[in-house]
Chain A
Amino acid sequence: MKISQNSKVPIYQQIADSFRTDILEGRLGQGEYLPSIRGLAKELKISVITTMKAYEELESEGMVTAVQGKGYYINPQDGEMLREQHMRKVEDALMEAIKYAKIAGMTDDELTDTLKTLLRFEEE
């Protein structure tokens, strides 16, 4: 695992991303445990709390489950469930966008147009 201290992406996010990829691509299988929090912090030379935040992020996504005293094990990955979780994240992000659109006084049409324009850019 490569961690960049200078990236715009927070360190906890980099760790969570790395494990998420490993899980989704099958390198870490159902029922396996993630490394111990303090063991990983030691290896990566980062603080315990940063490692813990990465694991909590994975837990909130339903990728892993915490067991008191034993650590975090990897859940069976259900395609439908993952899709639902991602959709919830999309909703949250859009709510955030709506909030700022209101502050900026944008109309609903302007907001949807912005989204459409951005989608077009993404495709290109």
Chain B
Amino acid sequence: METQAVISCINIEKKYKNFKLKVDKVDFPKGFATALIGENGAGKTTLLELIAGLRLDHEGEISYFGKYSEKDREEDPVVKNSIGYTGTGNYFMPGWNLKQTKEVQELLFDGFDGDKYDEILKELAFSADNKTDANKKVNSLSDGNKTKLMLAGVLSRNTDLLLMDEPASALDPLMREKLCEIIREYLAEAEGEKSVIFSTHNIADMENVTDYAVIVENGEIAEQGFVEDLKEKYTYVKGDKKDEELGKKYMYDMTTNNYGFEGLCLSDDLDKLAGADIITETPTLTQLSVGIMRANTRLKLA
């Protein structure tokens, strides 16, 4: 399938004292939702912040919408206005109240629609009685409400790309479902023109809204691809104890217990397990992610 990239990252390197992010190449597909998946500290937030321009000095190149450079992102308001970013923690200044938060966004972004903003906050059940207290300070909000405030901010602008750092984590199950709905609606607004990139630990909740997966481990990309392709590349295998040695030899990743083993096998390697008494399944995104993360982790798991 031919796709264009909404964001292209080439030879990105960003060094910290004890950590290095090193991304050889990622093309985030235009018109789709991409999930960044990986352990805490794997580099997901750093990558998103580099793309959003919240962190600057780094090696390599990031290009936007197939034609803009990072310099354009800084200088051309068209690029800035077409990207919406939601982060974790205190994206808005903690001392601001809700009225100021809205005013600042009106100032910062062309196309910010204040009425739509209020409407979305209502839709997201921001406050129980649908009345927002304009003097309420941002730092007195729950984490869930901080997320809703950021979501309303980006959704009330006319953007072509949403960058969202852990949008699901602070939301309750009902709101996670709503978040998925919001992402699908956003993508459907203009067939193939709008894209979403989000990081998440809540893989199962986001599976039905994930088109492309980028699995980050230890500062590097361990695997990436369209989910449907990854589900063909890997097969989930369960086997008996007697075949464990064969499994150890040919499985991509596996765990064992007293009765047998299970895990991911490269579909091309399935032939090598011929003769073993196994059952095979199409992996879920969670099984794929966990297997690939475990095979590439720097942690020593038992």
Q: Which residues of A contact B (CB under 8 A)?
A: 10, 12, 36-39, 41-42, 45-50, 52-53, 56, 71, 103-104
When A10-B282, A52-B1 are in contact, do A45 and B208 touch as well, CB less than 8 Å? yes
Closest 3 CB pairs of A and B: A38-B188, A49-B211, A42-B184
Q: Do residues A41 and B274 form an inter-chain contact, with CB atoms below 8 A?
A: no
**Distance, CA A10 to CA B33, complexed state (A):** 20
Q: Do residues B187 and A48 form an inter-chain contact, with CB atoms below 8 A?
A: yes
When A10-B282, A38-B192 are in contact, do A47 and B33 touch as well, CB less than 8 Å? yes
**Distance, CA A48 to CA B227, complexed state (A):** 10
For residue B191, CB closer than 8 A to chain A, the reply is yes
Residues of A close to B212: CB separation below 8 A: 49
Q: Which residues of B contact A (CB under 8 A)?
A: 1, 31-33, 180-181, 184-185, 187-188, 191-192, 207-212, 226-228, 231, 271, 274, 282
Q: Is the interface of A mostly helix, strand, loop or mixed?
A: helix
When A56-B1, A103-B271 are in contact, do A47 and B227 touch as well, CB less than 8 Å? yes
**Distance, CA A75 to CA B153, complexed state (A):** 44
Contact among A10, A37, A42, A71 with B185 in the assembled complex (CB-CB below 8 Å): A42
Q: Do residues A46 and B208 form an inter-chain contact, with CB atoms below 8 A?
A: yes
Nearest B residue to A104 by beta-carbon distance? B274
When A53-B228, A56-B1 are in contact, do A47 and B211 touch as well, CB less than 8 Å? yes
Among B181, B187, B211, B228, max chain A CB count under 10 A is at B228
Q: Do residues B208 and A48 form an inter-chain contact, with CB atoms below 8 A?
A: no
Q: Do residues B188 and A39 form an inter-chain contact, with CB atoms below 8 A?
A: yes
Q: Do residues B208 and A42 form an inter-chain contact, with CB atoms below 8 A?
A: no
**Distance, CA A12 to CA B207, complexed state (A):** 14
Contact among B33, B180, B274 with A48 in the assembled complex (CB-CB below 8 Å): B33
Q: Do residues A50 and B187 form an inter-chain contact, with CB atoms below 8 A?
A: no
- For the complex formed, measure the closest distance between the CB of B157 and the CB atoms of chain A, giving whole angstroms: 20
Q: Do residues A47 and B1 form an inter-chain contact, with CB atoms below 8 A?
A: no
Contact among B31, B180, B274 with A45 in the assembled complex (CB-CB below 8 Å): B180
**Distance, CA A38 to CA B282, complexed state (A):** 24
**Distance, CA A36 to CA B188, complexed state (A):** 8
**Distance, CA A103 to CA B185, complexed state (A):** 49
Residues of A close to B274: CB separation below 8 A: 103-104
Among B191, B231, B271, max chain A CB count under 10 A is at B191
**Distance, CA A37 to CA B187, complexed state (A):** 10
**Distance, CA A12 to CA B211, complexed state (A):** 13
Q: Do residues B227 and A38 form an inter-chain contact, with CB atoms below 8 A?
A: no
Q: Do residues A48 and B32 form an inter-chain contact, with CB atoms below 8 A?
A: yes
* Other contacts beyond A37-B191, A47-B208, A56-B1: 9, CB < 8 A: A10-B282, A36-B191, A38-B192, A45-B208, A47-B33, A49-B212, A49-B228, A50-B228, A52-B1
Q: Do residues A45 and B271 form an inter-chain contact, with CB atoms below 8 A?
A: no
